[in-house]
Amino acid sequence: MGKVEYTPKTLLYPVPVLLVSSGTADGRTNIMTAGWTGTICTEPPMAYVSIRPSRASYGMIRNSGEFVLNLNTEALAAAADQCGVISMNECEDKWALTSLTRGKALHLDYAPIIMESPLNIECKVRQILPLGSHDMFIGEVVGIDVSEEYIGENGLINLDDAGLIAYSSRKLPNNVPVGSYVKLGETIGRYGFTAKKDIRTH
């Protein structure tokens, strides 16, 4: 089967769908949903989120220099959708809208964590890269908050039962492509399974 050339677009699927929380010195906070996000470095631990300058969270993160990446689950899918389609101009208090709970970040001054998220990644902005439609906020990971139920007896984090979700492109019955929230499926192999030896993950 051959290949068909397609218009250059951002068609990397699935992608993470995270709830990004931010705040300001005067106590205002916001939640936005982001798919353009991920890990970029191990030492020091670095993550990024790319945001359009028109988004309310953009100014908050740029001014405060911090943000939190909150992992998303099946139980939080409705909240993620609301935070993705409703702007802060339409709803000043997305916490009340989504019934999510603000928590105090351990290493940040303004950005709160989302208590219902199984894992929160606290980041301090180290660099902002203007790239076009979006600016990339590169953040150093300064703290991780994990819900107690996902820490095993060995102290390792296990999110297998958290119901994590991703964002992908699917088609409606009329063949119109649309973004979809999808639940991550079953394990088909562990890291290093092709090597047929005990390789410890990091």
Task: Report domain extents, the chain.
Answer: 15-195
Range of lowest pLDDT (47-51, 94-98, 161-165, 181-185):
181-185
> How far is the CA of 199 from the CAs of 43, 51, 167, 190, 193, in angstroms?
20, 37, 30, 9, 8
| Beta bridge partner(s), residue 183 | 165
Per-residue pLDDT tens digits for 110-124: 999 999 999 999 999
Mean pLDDT on 56-60: 96
pLDDT score recorded for residue 173: 63
Are the C-beta atoms of residues 119 and 144 closer than 8 Å to each other? yes
Which fold is adopted by the domain 15-195? Answer: Pnp Oxidase; Chain A (2.30.110)
Q: Could you tell me which of 117, 115, 197 has the C-alpha nearest to residue 163?
A: 117
Q: Cα(33)–Cα(70) distance, rounded to whole angstroms?
A: 10
pTM greater than 0.85: yes
Per-residue pLDDT tens digits for 128-178: 999 999 999 999 999 999 999 999 888 899 998 999 999 987 766 666 557
pLDDT score recorded for residue 177: 59
How confident is the prediction for the chain on average, in pLDDT? 91
Asked whether the bond before 8 is cis by omega within 30 degrees of 0, the reply is no
Whole-number percent of the chain with pLDDT over 90: 72
Q: What is the DSSP-derived secondary structure letter of residue 193?
A: G
Residue 10 has pLDDT above 90, yes or no: no
